[in-house]
Amino acid sequence: MHYFEDKVVWITGASSGIGEAMALAFAKENARLVLTSRRPEELERVKKLTGLPDSSVLILPMDVTQYDKAVPAAETIVAHFGRIDVMVHNAGVSQRSYIRDTDFEVYQKIMNVDFFSTVAITKAVLPYMTAQRSGQFIVISSVAGKIGTIMRSGYNAAKHALHGFYDALRAEGYQDNIRVTTVCPGYIRTNISVNALDQSGGKFGKMDTNQANGIPAEECASKILLAVKKNKKEIYIGGFKEVAAIYLKRFFPDLLFDQVRKNIPE
């Protein structure tokens, strides 16, 4: 029997990238999936790729920033599957613009998508996990959640916020057997830079060189599932430079700052 077999797993941002890869990884473990994004046709595509029977996959299209939809969505899942065992907060948007050029509304949008949406959905899911006295939150943060970098100020801020909130949830949920694994990917081969917001809130539309050379999303997903099975609290996934930067900040912060200010994104 697989670790996640028959577990009900809700994944936001499930139509591409890490979210899609995680859906396929959970499917290999015979989990029951709830797939959420704004694109129902892409969710249907991912559903087919899982190879799971229709009874094991619920398509739940949703804009995560419509916070009033969070509670009804959780109610729909529980009515359908009877419970929610794993909540994967993966929906997010990045940024490629300098602070001096960025409209204030862009920061609001990033915080709404990357932080406040996770809070709204967590608040909707948490009562069910508390009642069943078990649950797992998988929070997709970023190396940018540990280190502030050029042209990603809003993204950095939102991902930093995730760590504070979910560290608190991990402590508060301990008595109810509610676990939290915070994931800090570095460069993963996805379209995150292509879909990033520019200074006015439009699409950046370019693939970062480092992103194009990143590790495959499937490898990232595999590492995440393994970390959850081991009850890891926080993990870093990526190349040597990204992971090393986290430890540089901890032990040699001045050295890291000098490196960051010279690292203009390509």
pLDDT tens track, the chain, 266 positions: 799 999 999 999 999 999 999 999 999 999 999 999 999 999 999 999 999 999 999 999 999 999 999 999 999 999 999 999 999 999 999 999 999 999 999 999 999 999 999 999 999 999 999 999 999 999 999 999 999 989 999 999 999 999 999 999 999 999 999 999 999 999 999 999 999 999 999 999 988 888 888 899 999 999 999 999 999 999 999 988 888 888 888 888 887 777 777 765 55
Residues carrying an active site annotation: 155
Q: State how far the Cα of 212 lies from the Cα of 83, in Å rounded to an integer.
A: 38
Report if pTM > 0.75.
Answer: yes
Q: Which residues contact 55 (CB under 8 A, 6 or more apart)?
A: none
In the chain, the largest separation of any two C-alpha atoms, in whole Å, equals 54
Q: Which residues contact 94 (CB under 8 A, 6 or more apart)?
A: 152, 155, 192, 193, 195, 196, 197
Q: State how far the Cα of 221 lies from the Cα of 26, in Å rounded to an integer.
A: 9
Closest CA to 122 of 74, 56, 177, 54: 74
Query: What sign does the CA torsion over 146, 148, 152, 158 have?
Result: positive
Identify the three-state secondary structure at position 198. Answer: coil
Say which CATH architecture domain 8-262 belongs to.
Answer: 3-Layer(aba) Sandwich (3.40)
Do residues 237 and 228 touch, judged by C-beta distance below 8 A? no
Domain extent listing, the chain:
8-262
Q: State how far the Cα of 22 lies from the Cα of 24, in Å rounded to an integer.
A: 5
